[in-house]
Structure 1
Amino acid sequence: MNDIREFATLTSKGQITLPKAVRQVLGVDQGGKVRFEIRSGEVVVTRAEADHEDPAIGAFLDLIERDIRAGRHVGSLPDDVAAALLAEVKTPVDIDEDIEGDVAL
């Protein structure tokens, strides 16, 4: 396989679009997951496996996805649960921030 060199532009919200050639090589499409690893100053992008490492979290995420796809409203989490989840986030989160671009589930 020939080496592929592609470029992407970072948006003001830190987002990029993976170039088509990269998506094809990784075998990911809309809704696909990728993993970023930093190795000796280089970023390595690989296709992420569909299953979550923790089966309980994976099942919970699957339940939420089914509800969203079925058009059911996902209610608010109890404050203590929301706080515990946000405490696990490694980057600041602004839940009132507008989502830019298309969202795929």
Structure 2
Amino acid sequence: MPEIHEVATLTSKGQITLPKPIRQALGVDAGGKVAFDLRKGQVIVTRADTEHQDPDIEAFLGLLEADIRTGQRVRSLPDDLVRAMLVNAGHAIDLDEDIDGKVAL
């Protein structure tokens, strides 16, 4: 990938426009997704490939977005799910790690 140096201005809402040469180099258009990673004080911008996203998580996020857009309150989560989420919050997850126990699909 060619070296490109571009400057973007941050708006009062914290938004930037990705400069055209950067969009072209990443191969993203309107509606495309980019990922931002902070590494040792530098922000790395990459194209976010959506082909490996979890469809269940996408469906859940879609429900949340629909609730927020219509002004409805987000539905309550089951207590056991909330407890499990709180227990695991902030813990690193190794997706390649073997799963202990039985898994029902």
Q: TM-score under structure 1 normalisation?
A: 0.56
Q: Gaps (5+ residues) in structure 2?
A: 83-105
Structure 2 counterpart of 1:44, which letter?
I
Query: How far off is 1:76 after superposition?
Result: 2.5
Query: How far off is 1:38 after superposition?
Result: 1.1
Deviations 1:13-60 (A, max 9, x none): 110000000000111100110000111111100000124633212234
Larger radius of gyration: 2
Do the aligned residues in 1 keep the contact of 2:34 with 2:48 (CA within 8 Å)? yes
Q: TM-score under structure 2 normalisation?
A: 0.56
Identity of aligned residues (%): 58
Structure 2 counterpart of 1:41, which letter?
G
Structure 1 counterpart of 2:15, which letter?
Q
Measured in 2, the distance between the counterparts of 1:36 and 1:78 equals 27
Secondary structure of the equivalent of 1:13? coil
Greater RCO (CA < 8 Å, at least 6 residues apart): 1
Measured in 2, the distance between the counterparts of 1:78 and 1:39 equals 34
Q: How does 1:90-105 map to 2 (within 5 A)?
A: none
Distance 1:15 1:25, change over 3 A: same
- Please name the residue that 2:3 is paired with: 3
